[in-house]
Amino acid sequence: MPLVYGFYFPEAEFQAYLGKYFMIVIFSMGKDMLLMCIAIALVSRQTTRSLRSLSKSTEEIAQGNLDTELTKIPRSDEVGRLSRSFRRMRDSLKLHILELQEATAARQRMESELAIAAQIQQAMLPSAEAAIDPRYSVSTLLQPARVVGGDLYDFFHVADERICMVIGDVANKGVPAALFMARTLSLMRTLAHQSSSPAALLFAVNRELAHNNPECRFVTMFFAMLDLKSGVLQYASAGHDAPLLLRDGQVSKLVLETGPALGLEEEASFPQFEIRLLAHDIVVMYTDGITEARNQDNEEFSEARLQTTISRKAPAFAADIIRCVTLAHQQFIAQAPQFDDLTLLSMQFHPEAKRRKPAFADWQISLNGQPLVYDQVRPCLAGLLQAQQVSEDVVDDLQLITEEVLVNVLKHGATDQDPASIRLDVHLQESAVVLDVIDNSHAYNPLDGVNEPDLEVDFADRPEGGLGLYLVSALADQIDYHYAHGQNNLHIRKFLVKP
């Protein structure tokens, strides 16, 4: 018979014990969970502190503060790698912005310098107002494709009855072309006074440009000389298109055989032609930026369209030529970009126009900026020099020089400008008195033809004129003349003591 053991435990006590045990388990588990949460919070806080600092720094960087300090995280985990990546990003951004600022500053400096260069380039070219002789009128256009360009034009007097006109196109565009253009203009203006014909001038300019030209830069040019008295237009071309002639509403090209562009062949020659202009004839010079311009359909403006534009409008004045061609050109190319410089020069011949010879009282005379009448010039000049303790001999000589020069201008000066003016500028230097006589009369060199008079000839038989200017040349120690910007400039130097 099996042995059976039994235990007796009061139910109330058992239930009490079980409830107590359950509370102990609940308390123990709650304590463990609380400790675990505290541990997790501490670990998380420690772990995310670097991320919070990094987040705050990136917000500063996002606001543009690239000088904000990134917290160093000496860790090799993902957070450390992320921190180092942000640091490299910040440094790269700072370097990029610095380089961008330097590039922007350099570009602004270049743009400013180019703007100044454009102003200088425009200042080198004459305006229509420079055509001071009423026997011709000029209108011009120069529109560079870039800030500065290589096209050029000019017109100026080389004698009282002759004017020069030129238009040219330097190969390429931009600053190098502009510099070559400036050199070409300078050479042309200098050598024009030494050349007797367009062919001779082109030969001389070409020889200078071709010499020491390793870059093989070149310029096409059309050059013409107009005799205002006879109306004969002599011209020659160095690789440039023939101008157009508008006569009685009909447009034709001038007969032309061109030589090579300037700057390529040092001993090149240039065929010369001539034509006699009639009253109201208009000569139109242009560069290929006009005729070779293309529209959005890649169609060329062309010489034929240029001639048709002028003949259809048949402008009556030189300025109207520029306006109608410019309008037709703009309408043709529409929104297409401009690839080449645009240059036009139109000249109209007015042989019947005469210069106005101002009356004696019309002239406005000033001495160092002080308005005077003629009779006041001598005493005012003497008082000015004597106040500077200039010797009486020098004062007397300068008074005579001034009087003779003034009489010469008042007698021979003719101008279409109002008012007619003579400006006397006196400068006392250490060893000399310098007198500049500037008037807005027509180009007239008073030193031309000044020869020593024959004093043995009886006064009644002596030809009129010449003696006063001979005295001026004899009394002055140095005297020079040049004509610029529509003004005669006579530069006279008188030493205080003979060297």
| Residue 183, strand partner residues | none
Is the same domain home to 40 and 174?
no
Is the same domain home to 370 and 479?
yes
Tokens (6 digits) for 186: 């300078």
Is the same domain home to 386 and 421?
yes
**Does residue 375 lie in a domain region?**
yes
Are 243 and 310 within 8 A, CB to CB?
no
Rounded CA-CA distance 303/289 in Å is 11
Q: Which of 80, 106, 124 marks a domain boundary?
A: 124
Q: Which of 349, 382, 417 marks a domain boundary?
A: 349
At residue 283, the pLDDT reads 96
Provide the pLDDT confidence category of residue 342 given band limits of 50, 70 and 90.
confident
At residue 194, the pLDDT reads 85
List, for residues 402-442, the tens digit of each pLDDT value.
888 888 888 777 776 667 788 899 988 888 899 999 888 87
CATH code of the domain containing 138: 3.60.40.10
**Does residue 354 lie in a domain region?**
no
Rounded CA-CA distance 314/296 in Å is 28
Q: Which of 85, 107, 124 marks a domain boundary?
A: 124
Is the same domain home to 490 and 393?
yes
More confident residue, 262 or 364: 262
Provide the pLDDT confidence category of residue 457 given band limits of 50, 70 and 90.
very low
Is the same domain home to 109 and 130?
no
Number of structural domains (the chain) is 3
pTM over 0.85: no
What integer is the mean pLDDT of 18-37? 82
Rounded CA-CA distance 188/266 in Å is 16
At residue 224, the pLDDT reads 96
pLDDT at 453 over 60: no
State what percent of residues in the chain have pLDDT above 70: 80
CATH code of the domain containing 385: 3.30.565.10
Are 152 and 170 within 8 A, CB to CB?
yes
Are 436 and 425 within 8 A, CB to CB?
yes
Is the same domain home to 462 and 340?
no
**Does residue 355 lie in a domain region?**
no
pLDDT at 82 over 50: yes
Is the same domain home to 330 and 432?
no
Are 381 and 399 within 8 A, CB to CB?
yes
List, for residues 14-27, the tens digit of each pLDDT value.
777 777 878 888 88
Are 144 and 341 within 8 A, CB to CB?
yes
pLDDT at 117 over 70: no
What integer is the mean pLDDT of 361-374? 78
In 3D, which of 269, 179, 164 has the Cα closest to residue 222?
164
At residue 179, the pLDDT reads 80
pLDDT at 177 over 50: yes
At residue 226, the pLDDT reads 95
Provide the pLDDT confidence category of residue 460 given band limits of 50, 70 and 90.
very low
Tokens (6 digits) for 410: 């008042």
DSSP conformation class of 460: G
Domain hosting residue 17, numbered range: 1-124
**Does residue 277 lie in a domain region?**
yes
Rounded CA-CA distance 239/227 in Å is 24
Is the same domain home to 155 and 104?
no
State what percent of residues in the chain have pLDDT above 90: 21
Provide the pLDDT confidence category of residue 463 given band limits of 50, 70 and 90.
very low
DSSP conformation class of 337: P
At residue 51, the pLDDT reads 64
